[in-house]
Chains A and B, each alone.
Chain A
Amino acid sequence: MGKQRVVEIMVGLFMAAGFVALFFLAMQVSNLSAAVNSDGYQLSARFSNVGSLKARAPVTMAGVRVGRVERVEFDTQSYEAVVTLRIQAEVDTIPDDTFANIFTAGLLGEQYIGLEPGGSLDYLRDGDEIAYTQSALILEQMIGQFLFSKAGGD
Chain B
Amino acid sequence: MLLEGLARLGRSGLGVLARLGRGHQLLGAMLLGVGELLRRPRLLIVQIFNVGVLSILIIVVSGLFVGMVLGLQGYYVLSQFGAAESLGVMVAASLVRELGPVVTALLVAGRAGSALTAEIGLMKATEQLSGLEMMAVDPVRRILTPRFFGGVIAMPLLAAMFSAVGVLGGYFVGVGLLGVDAGSYWSQMQSKVDFDQDIVNGVIKSVVFGVVVTWIALFQGYDAVPTSEGVSRATTRSVVHGALAVLGLDFVLTALMFGD
Known: A15-B157, A21-B157, A21-B163. A26 touches B49 (CB 8 A): no
A29 at the binding interface (Cβ < 8 Å): yes
Least distance between B98 CB and chain A CB atoms (Å): 14
Q: How far is the CA of A13 from the CA of B161 in the complex (A)?
A: 13
- List the A side residues contacting B161 at CB < 8 Å: 17-18, 21
| Cβ-closest 7 pairs across A and B | A18-B157, A21-B164, A21-B160, A32-B195, A30-B195, A22-B160, A21-B161
Tell whether, in the assembled complex, residue B45 and residue A17 are in contact, meaning their CB atoms are under 8 Å apart.
no
Tell whether, in the assembled complex, residue B164 and residue A7 are in contact, meaning their CB atoms are under 8 Å apart.
no
Least distance between B197 CB and chain A CB atoms (Å): 9
- List the A side residues contacting B198 at CB < 8 Å: 30
Tell whether, in the assembled complex, residue A10 and residue B49 are in contact, meaning their CB atoms are under 8 Å apart.
yes
Total chain A interface residues with beta-carbon distance under 8 A: 28
B22 at the binding interface (Cβ < 8 Å): no
- List the A side residues contacting B42 at CB < 8 Å: 4
Q: Give B residues with C-beta under 8 Å from A.
A: 42, 45-46, 48-49, 52-53, 56, 81-82, 92, 96, 154, 156-158, 160-161, 163-165, 167, 186, 189-195, 198-199, 203
Known: A29-B190, A32-B195, A33-B190. A22 touches B53 (CB 8 A): no
Q: Give A residues with C-beta under 8 Å from B.
A: 4, 7-8, 10-11, 13-15, 17-19, 21-22, 24-26, 28-35, 56, 58, 106, 108
- List the B side residues contacting A4 at CB < 8 Å: 42
